[in-house]
Amino acid sequence: MSQYKKNLIVLLATLMALQTCMPQPPEGLDTKSVARDIQYRKLKRITEPEIMEAALKEGILLQEDIEKKFKNPQNGAIAYQNTDTLFKTAAKVFFWAAYSQAMLPEEKALWEAYKTIDFRQETASENLQKLKSTDLLLLYTFPLVADDSAQMRGFWAIQISKQDLLKKYFWTIPKGFRKK
């Protein structure tokens, strides 16, 4: 027998021995389920424009609900923060009818900007921006204009939690996914 054949036989015998020594998955282990779990645990990159777009959608939904529920709001914090199911993404909701020292710097600047708008000629529009004080919240605002006089009665300020927003719009648990 040639040296080549002897080496081939030794190599095959070694491979067979290694094959029998390799650990096998235990009986009953659902490898497809494990593979699916791994797939859904992979990190997903979400860009800042995607977050801002989702926050704008959420702000519009909150605005519509607020306008239905509160026809004549009072100045200051609204008591339903984080209790109503619709408002799970809203960290805090305020109605500002007058300039206040309690306002955030961004809210003070928006107050001044909204006060300069002539609502007879321009339509009231919402505003979405990042808060400089924290990366965890976004600020969505919209003015409340009196129908008869086109005067601004105040504006709504909704602090939207980025964490809750990401959970609502980007994080889903697929059907059949095992929770640990």
Give the chain's domain count.
1
What is the rounded average pLDDT for all residues in the chain? 79
Strands of the sheet with 90-96, listed across from one edge: 76-77, 90-96, 152-161, 137-145, 127-130
Q: Is residue 17 part of a domain?
A: no
Q: Is residue 24 part of a domain?
A: no
Give the domain range for residue 63.
48-169
Q: Is residue 128 part of a domain?
A: yes
CA-to-CA separations, 101 to 53, 105, 136, in angstroms, rounded: 30, 9, 22
| Span of 31-40, 143-152, 169-178 with lowest mean pLDDT | 169-178
For the chain, the residue count is 180
Q: Is residue 92 part of a domain?
A: yes
0.85 exceeded by the pTM? no
pLDDT of residue 153: 84
3-state secondary structure of 49: helix
CA-to-CA separations, 125 to 58, 94, 151, 155, in angstroms, rounded: 15, 17, 14, 11
Q: Is residue 42 part of a domain?
A: no
Q: Is residue 153 part of a domain?
A: yes
Q: Is residue 26 part of a domain?
A: no
